């Protein structure tokens, strides 16, 4: 099944990505954690927008590239996170950045 849209006015659950770099890559040993209302037993995970077998868990250790999202009853899907199997990436911190911020970039080969 497809990941459902968020009902009007619903508080969407969030995915916490560790390590906290934009452009998540497999060799970083990425962990996704569900944050939001509800319990782990109500969590449904989706990989590449299709229902995925890792259900009823708050936390996933990612071993395959793809686009991940999840939902809980009444919340709809969280924003998606794509995990790449890339050989060379330029990563920036995942938090929102402002023009005057000092930023550490990470180039991984």
CATH of the domain at 100: 2.60.40.10
Domain-located, residue 35: yes
pLDDT of residue 12: 73
65 against 101, higher pLDDT: 65
Q: 79, 64, 100: which is closest to 22 by C-alpha? A: 79
Is the per-residue pLDDT at 25 higher than 80?
yes
For the chain, the domain total comes to: 1
Q: For the chain, state the CA radius of gyration.
A: 15
Domain-embedded: residue 5: no
* Residue 98 counted as domain residue: yes
Other C-beta atoms lying within 10 Å of the C-beta of residue 61 = 10
In a domain, 6, yes or no: no
Residue range 45-91, pLDDT digits in tens: 999 989 987 677 889 999 999 999 998 877 778 888 999 887 777 66
CB 89 within 8 A of CB 61: no
* CA distances, 21 to each of 4, 55, 91 (Å): 27, 25, 6
Q: Does 7 reside within a domain?
A: no
């Amino acid at each position: 099944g497809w990941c459902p849209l968020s009902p009007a006015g619903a508080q969407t659950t969030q995915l916490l990505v560790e390590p906290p770099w934009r452009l998540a890559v497999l060799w970083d040993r990425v962990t996704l954690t569900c944050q939001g209302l509800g319990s782990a037993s109500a969590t449904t995970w989706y990989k590449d927008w299709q229902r995925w077998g890792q259900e009823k868990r708050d936390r996933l250790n990612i071993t395959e590239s793809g686009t991940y999202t999840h939902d809980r009853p009444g919340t709809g899907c969280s924003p998606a996170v794509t995990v790449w199997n890339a050989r060379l990436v330029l990563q920036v911190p995942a938090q929102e950045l402002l023009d005057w911020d000092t930023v550490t970039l990470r180039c991984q080969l």
